Amino acid sequence: MTRSRILVVEDNSDNCDLVRFLLENAGYQVLVASTGSQGLSIAGREMPDLILMDLTLPVMDGWTAASHLKADPKTAQIPLLALTAHTLPGDRQKALEAGFNGYISKPINITKFNDAISYALLRKEKDAT
Ligand code: MN
């Protein structure tokens, strides 16, 4: 089985390091981007199995990048999770409307984080069969 590739779009380097550490520890291959537009171009080029994206990002924010990813048939099927401290009910709704398939709240709870990743990847495999 090939290792799943996960793209992390996060401008805060501490958060990015933590997420990368957790994912690599769990055996995933990690790609990183630090702005929404960089995230978009890497996603289109690398076609990762899953994208984790912060919402407050420079150049292009996460909501805008999400709408672009979901509007492009090439990247629309890639599961997309928001990585966010914005977890008020309205923020959650706004993220889902922008095209996110779910979200992971910051600060990160390691057990919940690992579960959310496995679940998103599993659902993707099921959809593909
Ligand atoms: Mn940010």
Cα(85) to centroid(ligand 1), Å:
9
Q: What is the pLDDT along the chain (129 residues), one digit of tens a residue?
A: 579 999 999 999 999 999 999 999 999 999 999 999 999 999 999 999 999 999 999 999 999 999 999 999 999 999 999 998 876 778 878 889 999 999 998 899 999 999 999 999 998 877 776
Identify the pLDDT of residue 91.
Answer: 80
**What is the spatial distance between Cα 46 and Cα 122, in angstroms, rounded to a whole number?**
20
Residue pair 50/92 in contact (Cβ under 8 Å)? The answer is: no
Expressed in angstroms and rounded, the spacing between residue 10 Cα and the centre of ligand 1 is 6
pLDDT of residue 129: 63
Cα(126) to centroid(ligand 1), Å: 31
Q: For the whole model, what pTM was predicted?
A: 0.93
User: Which domains can be identified in the chain, with CATH numbers?
Assistant: 5-128 (3.40.50.2300)
3-state class percentages of the chain: helix first, strand second, coil last, to nearest 5: 50, 20, 35
Q: Which residues surround ligand 1, an ion (CB under 5 A)?
A: 11, 54, 56
* CA 103, chain centre distance (Å): 8
Residue 73 dihedral angles phi and psi, to the nearest 5°: -55, -30
